[in-house]
């Protein structure tokens, strides 16, 4: 085992790429603990993410997110479900990569639109033209998501395949480190 990585797997990627579903499935399969950074932010602030954005603003949300990332990444044997914007802060990326294997999920914009349209809890997509917003944010963030250790395409929505692919990544990493 690569001790430096504390046996953590961190899922990053844009909203609607399946991070939560896949992280929960991976946790179930591996027996590791499922950790949601967004969930911990809501617990700490006693507020929904959309209300934090509305009442305290995005910079405040990012500050809490950064603090939680630091705290979470001191523990081991976790499947960490990180919010879509966590990679925008390079110190977050450093902490996540130092203490975990960072896997970025990627899906085509059209599929992201379909998946995110069903839910209203994402403040960044609560705009009149979410399709353009998704494309704009994906373009802005592409270079940040590229910093992940590995990438998995989840456009087809096949959870089992994505889980198997991530397990293989972990096996490969343990062999080469």
Cβ closer to ligand S3P: 8 or 38? 38
Tell me which residue of 56, 55, 88, 52 sits closest to 69, measured CA to CA. Answer: 88
Give Cα 106 distance to the centre of its chain.
11
Minimum separation from the CB atom of position 168 to ligand S3P (A): 24
β-strands 9-13, 101-106: how paired? parallel
In the bound complex, what is the minimum distance in angstroms from residue 120's beta carbon to ligand S3P? 11
Q: Which residues pair with 150 in a beta bridge?
A: 103
φ, ψ dihedrals at 78, nearest 5°: -125, 150
Residue 15 interacting with ligand S3P (CB under 6 A): yes
Backbone angles phi, psi at 150, to 5 degrees: -140, 160
CB of 86 to ligand S3P, least distance (A): 7
Q: Which of 123, 133, 147, 151 binds ligand S3P (CB under 6 A)?
A: 123
Nearest CB to ligand S3P, comparing residues 105 and 163: 105
Site for ligand S3P in 61-100 (CB under 6 A): 83-85
- DSSP SS3 for 75: coil
The only residue of 48, 56, 122, 135 in contact with ligand S3P, by rule CB under 6 A: 122
Identify the CA nearest to 49 among candidates 85, 78, 23.
85
* Binder among 5, 18, 19, 105 for ligand S3P (CB under 6 A): 19
Residues of this chain that interact with ligand S3P (CB under 6 A) are: 15, 19, 38, 49, 83-85, 122-124
């Amino acid at each position: 085992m690569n001790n430096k990585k504390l046996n953590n797997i961190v899922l990053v990627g844009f909203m609607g790429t399946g991070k939560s579903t896949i992280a929960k499935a991976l946790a179930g399969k591996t027996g590791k603990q499922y950790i949601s950074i967004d969930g911990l932010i809501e617990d700490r602030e006693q507020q929904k993410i959309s209300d934090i954005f509305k009442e305290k603003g995005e910079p405040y949300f990012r500050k809490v997110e950064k603090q939680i990332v630091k705290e979470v990444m001191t523990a081991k044997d976790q499947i960490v479900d990180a919010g879509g914007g966590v990679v925008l802060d390079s110190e977050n990326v450093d902490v996540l990569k130092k203490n975990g294997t960072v896997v970025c999920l990627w899906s085509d914009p059209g599929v992201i639109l379909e998946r995110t349209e069903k839910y209203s809890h994402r403040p960044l997509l609560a705009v009149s033209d979410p399709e353009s917003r998704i494309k704009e944010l994906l373009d802005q963030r592409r270079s940040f998501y590229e910093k992940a250790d590995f990438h998995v395409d989840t456009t087809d929505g096949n959870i089992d395949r994505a889980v198997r692919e991530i397990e293989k990544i972990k096996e490969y990493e343990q062999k080469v480190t």
